[in-house]
Chains A and B, each alone.
Chain A
Amino acid sequence: MKGLLVKDYLMLSAQKRFMLLALIMMIVISVSANNGSFVIGYCAFMGSLMGTNSISYDDYNHGYSFLMTLPFTRKEYVLEKFIFCLSCVVLFSVVGALIALVGQMMRGLNETYLMSFGLTYLILIWIAFLIAAIMLPVQLHFGSERARIAFAIVMLSLFVLVIGGIKLTEGLPIQLDPIFSQLSLPLMVGVGIGILGVAFALSYSISLAIMQRKEF
């Protein structure tokens, strides 16, 4: 599995020009536009995208056939993809967070900002992790071209579900807003981790089943 990680990091480093351009853009936005959330979110999602796109690079030019003859199991391949993807999300989001912090430091930092910054970072990285959990099995199953369409459908469906859920709760006799505002931060973090845990467990099982059946 170490060899697979080395491969994916080497492929990632081959895109340093693109990443440098994105980095410069984020620095400019952070310094000039005072939009730290955008910078963190963009970087976290880019990490998710770069991580899942490693599957496209493996698939490109019939590369999968040769790759799958190397000495690792399909299970190790799937596990490596998850590790690589999560590490990309963490790495990119940390870089984004540092850029946002440096940008804000020029305008002055205070405790209120830092607390809201921390919460924003956690929410955005949570979303990036969730996107990775959804996209990994989608990419493995559909391949890179159709995966983009599948991702759009999945995101749209999630959006409809969320809006539908909100509309539904508005019609309930019991209002949920006061209940939610009573929830403590540790509880919300715990629930968030729990949801991510379930999402990744499901994503891993589905991805493994896809890879075991796949023919190259």
Chain B
Amino acid sequence: MLVKLDHVKKHYATFDLDCTMELAEGCITGVIGRNGAGKTTTFKLILDLIHPDAGEITILDEPVSKLNTKKREQIGVVLSDSGFSESLHLEAIARILKPMYHTFDPADFKKQAQAAGLPLRQPLSQFSNGMKAKAKLLMALSHHPRLLILDEPTAGLDVVARDEVLDMLRAFMENEQAGILISSHISSDLEGLCDDIYLIDQGKVKLHESNETILSEYGLIKVNASQYEKLDKDYLLAVEKEGYGYACLTNQRAYYQENYPGIVVEKANLDRVLTIMSRGESK
């Protein structure tokens, strides 16, 4: 197991995190949730930036607090609001990374940067948001890690650039021992990339499901009040009151399509799963 969180708790004044999560080799796991749900807190716990109040965190089969520098070299990180000082340029960053990572090749890094259209001697402060996002990912990949922890790596990228980034991540996963833990507000990126999804809301894991199951078996049922009264609620995960009646999330879309031919049953996507699980009433 690349990452394992076992009943990890962290208390803050505004919310409490209580999280159990795993990332296996060869998998890409997505984490979704509203702003302030606890995604970044979870990532910071995994990266030993903050200390848990309870629970165990294991990274690359070691307790996170005992991770040595050799194992830390196997982790590549992208954080949405943090990086190298923006007064540095990529050539300077290459000089910093070279002694830190045994597997870092400055020539290869510079070649990749130039191929991505990133200037080597321009300070990061003069990069666009998209360029900064690409640079961060390149730095994370440059030392051939085994584990990638990516907090919103595609934020600020246009569609074409996002596609290029996702291709880089798919190429990274050709190593079957590797794994990616990724959070993003762009659900379509995660739908096309991830093997499984964790939904975090108010510090708790509200949902953990394979991406394939969500896309093939989850459904959104739209009913008015009288239809809702007659609906079998055994397979409803969450219900949200809407202007027309109720929007209901189910993980048994086929059941409702067969047994309630008169009601609207749509395929669910990650955005709708997130909004109903976060705002609706859980069943």
Q: How far is the CB of A194 from chain B (nearest CB, A)?
A: 34
CB neighbours of A57 from chain B (8 A)? 85
Contact status B82-A71, CB under 8 Å: no
From A57, which residue of chain B is reached at the shortest CB distance?
B85
Q: Which of B35-94 contact A (CB under 8 A)?
A: 44, 47-51, 69-70, 72-73, 75, 77, 79, 81-88, 92
Q: Which of A1-36 contact B (CB under 8 A)?
A: 2-3, 6-7, 10-11, 14
Contact of B85 among A6, A11, A70, A216 (CB under 8 A): A11
CB neighbours of B48 from chain A (8 A)? 68
A111 within 8 A of B: no
Contact status A10-B92, CB under 8 Å: yes
Q: How long is the Cα–Cα vector from A63 to B86 in the complex, in angstroms?
A: 9
CB neighbours of A2 from chain B (8 A)? 99-100
Q: How long is the Cα–Cα vector from A63 to B82 in the complex, in angstroms?
A: 5
From B98, which residue of chain A is reached at the shortest CB distance?
A3
Q: How far is the CB of A53 from chain B (nearest CB, A)?
A: 12
Q: How far is the CB of B196 from chain A (nearest CB, A)?
A: 24
Q: How far is the CB of B112 from chain A (nearest CB, A)?
A: 19
CB neighbours of A142 from chain B (8 A)? none
Contact status A71-B101, CB under 8 Å: yes
Q: How long is the Cα–Cα vector from A65 to B77 in the complex, in angstroms?
A: 10
Contact status A65-B95, CB under 8 Å: no
Q: How long is the Cα–Cα vector from A112 to B99 in the complex, in angstroms?
A: 47
B97 within 8 A of A: yes
A167 within 8 A of B: no
Q: How long is the Cα–Cα vector from A62 to B151 in the complex, in angstroms?
A: 14
Contact status A71-B69, CB under 8 Å: yes
Contact of B84 among A63, A76, A215 (CB under 8 A): A63
Size of the B side of the interface (Cβ < 8 Å), in residues, is: 30
From B65, which residue of chain A is reached at the shortest CB distance?
A212
Whether A65 contacts B49 in the complex (CB less than 8 A), given A57-B85, A71-B72, A72-B69, comes out as yes
Whether A215 contacts B50 in the complex (CB less than 8 A), given A6-B95, A66-B79, comes out as yes
B254 within 8 A of A: no
A69 within 8 A of B: yes
Whether A69 contacts B77 in the complex (CB less than 8 A), given A11-B87, A14-B87, A216-B50, comes out as yes
Q: How far is the CB of B90 from chain A (nearest CB, A)?
A: 12
Q: Which of A42-89 contact B (CB under 8 A)?
A: 57-58, 60-73, 76
B96 within 8 A of A: yes
Contact status B96-A69, CB under 8 Å: no
Contact status A215-B96, CB under 8 Å: no
Residues of A contacting B: mostly:
helix
Considering residues B69, B73, B81, B96, which has the most beta carbons from chain A within 10 angstroms of its beta carbon? B96
Whether A73 contacts B49 in the complex (CB less than 8 A), given A2-B99, A7-B96, A216-B44, comes out as no
Contact status B86-A68, CB under 8 Å: no
Q: How long is the Cα–Cα vector from A200 to B67 in the complex, in angstroms?
A: 28
CB neighbours of B97 from chain A (8 A)? 3
Contact status A71-B73, CB under 8 Å: yes
Contact status B82-A6, CB under 8 Å: no
Q: How far is the CB of B13 from chain A (nearest CB, A)?
A: 14
From B75, which residue of chain A is reached at the shortest CB distance?
A69
Q: How long is the Cα–Cα vector from A75 to B79 in the complex, in angstroms?
A: 23
Q: How long is the Cα–Cα vector from A57 to B69 in the complex, in angstroms?
A: 23
Q: How far is the CB of A140 from chain B (nearest CB, A)?
A: 16
Considering residues B79, B85, B101, which has the most beta carbons from chain A within 10 angstroms of its beta carbon? B85
Q: How long is the Cα–Cα vector from A65 to B84 in the complex, in angstroms?
A: 10
From A62, which residue of chain B is reached at the shortest CB distance?
B82
CB neighbours of B99 from chain A (8 A)? 2-3, 6
Contact status A215-B51, CB under 8 Å: yes
Q: How long is the Cα–Cα vector from A73 to B68 in the complex, in angstroms?
A: 8
Contact status B87-A69, CB under 8 Å: no
CB neighbours of B82 from chain A (8 A)? 61-67
15 A–B pairs (Cβ distance < 8 Å), ordered by A:
A10-B95, A58-B85, A61-B82, A61-B85, A62-B82, A65-B44, A66-B79, A66-B82, A66-B83, A70-B72, A70-B100, A71-B69, A71-B101, A215-B49, A216-B44
Chain B residues proximal to chain A, CB less than 8 Å: 44, 47-51, 69-70, 72-73, 75, 77, 79, 81-88, 92, 95-101, 149
